[in-house]
A and B are shown apart, each in its own frame.
Chain A
Amino acid sequence: MWWELIEQIFPYAIAYTIPLLITALGGLYSERSGVVNIGLEGLMVIGFFTSAMTISRLETTLPPGVAIGLGLVLATLAGAVFSLLHGFASITLNANQVISGTAINMIAGALTVYLARHITGSGNILIMNGLIRRNIPVLSEIPILGRLFFTQTYVTTWLVLAILLLSWFLLYRTPFGLRLRACGEHPQAADSAGINVYRMRYIAVMLSGACAGLGGAIILVTYAGEFNGTVAGLGFLALAALIFGQWKPLGILGATFFFGLASTIANVSQALPALAKVPGIFLKNFPYVVTLLVLVFFSKTTQAPRAAGEPYDKGKR
């Protein structure tokens, strides 16, 4: 019985994990370059909105697959462009990064709902076609693993996992990654080695915006199906997962999957005889309390990029 349960929960847990994972990856780029990006939540909303707009406009004339694909691409671009606001404030103007990020969140939330309300009247944008879950041929036949990982999957799941792999390679195996990380650890040293710190940070912030925008779009095309103006704190959760995962791609994968699984269990607990007795208040709060405990646990040995949150001051070199 337990096994069946796990098999049933798994696709939902993965569906919930993926937007978190890609957004946290975005946060990784930004913080590794030394810019704290609290605006991930708002950037997700931008992607959420852009994809909803694009898909709802195009799906009547184009085949659904093309419309969804375009929606994802445009959401990614919109996230990258919108993140420039954060980049300009925190990199060029040396503004307080937390405040700038908060402003991004508020602007994104207000602006998108304003526009959505202007367009649809209700503030919600519905799309008719979402992504369809598919079984992967051959691989889904593998016993145990096949059932867990290769049945009922979204194509975006594989896209995001590919980006995760690529990000790991980019950050740890290329000169670009080394430079980017140097800007987050000791920007003065990076600068004196001839790296343009401002440029690297701009690239990183735009990558984080692109990832968060994609994350918002994935929410729409997988489980939401409708833009409603908020991603309900997922951006903040991604930020927590970034710390929980200790600023490492694999750590982030583990942390976001933990959140995905815990939230899914809390959501379906009423249907599970074994968990129905546990009060919902404990299940729902579980991920947040664990995050706090993990933060305490890691506080002594934190792997945080040393210059994250500090504006780069050339004069300090």
Chain B
Amino acid sequence: MKKETGQEYTVALIAVGFGLLAGAVLMLVTGNNPLLGFFYLFSGGLMNIARIGNTLATATPLIFTGLSVAFAFKTGLFNIGAAGQMLIGGLCATALGLTLPWPKPLLLPVIVLAAALGGALWGLVPGWLKAKFNVHEVVCTIMMNWIAYWSVYYIVPAYFKGAYLETESRRIPEAASLKVDWLTRIFKGSYINLGFFIAIIAVMVIAYILERTTLGYELKAVGYNRDAAEYAGIQANRNIVLSMMIAGACAGLGGAAFYVGYASNMQIGVLPNQGFDGIAVALLGANSPWGVFMAAIFFGILHSGKGFMNAMTQVPPEIADSIIATIIYFAATSVLIERVRGQMQRRRQAQNKADLPLDSEAGLKENAGGAE
């Protein structure tokens, strides 16, 4: 097992390398200096404590959506609906934050829980349809994305309309925000908020579920081979529904981290990109919780640095998205990388095997070769 994860990280690093290379080529093609571009891209994300705080804040929703996609993957499900689950989670959080006049210590846990439940509900539907009717979860989660999109589009202006704009909700009160004074002060006024710590807890909980509980074992068993799992007495259907609910809950938490943490109101008419970037995060993190964590931080750097880079050079900010997209493609085609590695390994093994019994002979040949 250990060796395998090592191999997955190699694949991830190679994919990142290809992604950065593609980014460099794009910058060259559009007449920019790639070295300068990358310098500003990374310093934009890491230059000082405030920017590091922003990077972590940008990474927070990605950790959640990455966990969501990765967790569903473990059960063999492709959760393309993290965006919708995030929206609904954010909607629940925003709605409660705007209506409950409670003090912050009481309000925040309720908001976070509501966001998780909202996301779980949005994951429950595709999970149930998959388990009960074998409806493909990809198409189903896409439909759920659009239902979430249009629901938010109409619910926010109807009940939580902002003071100036029709297209956004009111600002949430300070008591409902995941931003806290001491954290903002430490990071010199950046966007970082409690969501980041909730994300770390979520990573640990998901890692614990997957590695240390019967539930995690069953979920993975269903993912490896549904029929075999069922034959072993595992209720595959129940696990599929549960898996999608937990995945949805993760994405819902991401909604809270984004809409009442990073931002302070809800825009309508946007499917959050973090939902789709979560797929990239999960792939790059090899579907392991801590891998997801690191991949999300890396993408956080790219996303939070792109604005600075755009200000300092002529490179359009979409370079970050292009790099991420290329990384996914190469992570998807990791088969190629693995195949080349496998071939090399096999050749080496074959050589070793050939060497062992025929040691003296090989030596003789070598000598002969030398003599010639």
**Which A residues contact B (CB, under 8 angstroms)?**
38, 85, 88-89, 93-96, 98-100, 102-107, 109-111, 113-115, 117-118, 123, 233, 236, 239-240, 243, 279-281, 284-285, 288-289, 291-292, 295-296, 299-300
Whether the pair A102, B143 counts as a contact (CB closer than 8 A) is: no
CB distance from B64 to the nearest CB of A (A): 18
Whether, in the assembled complex, B38 has its beta carbon less than 8 Å from a beta carbon of chain A, the answer is no
Whether the pair B319, A114 counts as a contact (CB closer than 8 A) is: yes
Known: A100-B333, A103-B328, A236-B139. 13 other contacts (CB 8 A): A89-B332, A93-B335, A93-B339, A94-B335, A95-B334, A99-B279, A99-B283, A99-B332, A109-B321, A233-B146, A239-B139, A291-B143, A295-B135
Whether the pair B333, A281 counts as a contact (CB closer than 8 A) is: no
Tell me the chain B residues, 298-339 only, with Cβ under 8 Å from chain A. Answer: 314, 316, 318-319, 321-322, 324-326, 328-329, 331-336, 339
CA distance A95 to B78 in the complex (A): 14
Whether the pair B333, A95 counts as a contact (CB closer than 8 A) is: yes
CB distance from B30 to the nearest CB of A (A): 5
CA distance A186 to B4 in the complex (A): 33
CA distance A109 to B318 in the complex (A): 9
With A98-B138, A103-B329, A118-B30 known as contacts, the answer to whether A285 contacts B335 (CB < 8 A) is: no
CB distance from B145 to the nearest CB of A (A): 8
Whether the pair A295, B333 counts as a contact (CB closer than 8 A) is: no
Residues of chain B within 8 A (CB-CB) of A89 are 329, 332-333
Residues of chain A within 8 A (CB-CB) of B334 are 95
Whether the pair A240, B329 counts as a contact (CB closer than 8 A) is: no
Produce 1/0 per residue, B40-55, CB < 8 A to A: 0000000000000000
With A110-B321, A299-B135 known as contacts, the answer to whether A117 contacts B332 (CB < 8 A) is: no
Partner of B150 from the list A96, A113, A284 (CB cut-off 8 Å) is A284
Whether, in the assembled complex, B80 has its beta carbon less than 8 Å from a beta carbon of chain A, the answer is yes
Whether, in the assembled complex, B100 has its beta carbon less than 8 Å from a beta carbon of chain A, the answer is no
Produce 1/0 per residue, B136-161, CB < 8 A to A: 10111011111100110111000000
Whether, in the assembled complex, B294 has its beta carbon less than 8 Å from a beta carbon of chain A, the answer is no
* Contact size range, B: 35 or more
CA distance A118 to B313 in the complex (A): 12
Whether the pair B139, A107 counts as a contact (CB closer than 8 A) is: no
Partner of A114 from the list B145, B150, B318, B339 (CB cut-off 8 Å) is B318
Measured CB to CB, the nearest residue on chain B to A42 is B325
Residues of chain A within 8 A (CB-CB) of B153 are 281, 284
Tell me the chain B residues, 231-287 only, with Cβ under 8 Å from chain A. Answer: 271, 276, 279-280, 283
CA distance A114 to B29 in the complex (A): 11
CA distance A109 to B324 in the complex (A): 11
Whether the pair B318, A110 counts as a contact (CB closer than 8 A) is: yes
Whether the pair B135, A280 counts as a contact (CB closer than 8 A) is: no
Residues of chain B within 8 A (CB-CB) of A123 are 316, 318
Whether the pair B151, A281 counts as a contact (CB closer than 8 A) is: yes
The 6 nearest A-B residue pairs measured at CB: A110-B321, A106-B325, A114-B318, A281-B154, A103-B329, A117-B316
Can you show 27 pairs from A to B with CB atoms below 8 A apart?
Answer: A85-B329, A89-B333, A95-B334, A99-B328, A99-B331, A100-B333, A102-B80, A102-B279, A103-B329, A106-B324, A106-B325, A107-B322, A107-B326, A107-B329, A111-B322, A115-B30, A117-B318, A233-B271, A236-B139, A236-B142, A240-B143, A281-B153, A285-B146, A292-B129, A292-B140, A295-B129, A299-B133
CA distance A102 to B319 in the complex (A): 18
With A233-B146, A284-B153, A292-B129 known as contacts, the answer to whether A114 contacts B135 (CB < 8 A) is: no
CA distance A292 to B316 in the complex (A): 39
Whether the pair B333, A280 counts as a contact (CB closer than 8 A) is: no
Partner of A113 from the list B271, B318, B332 (CB cut-off 8 Å) is B318
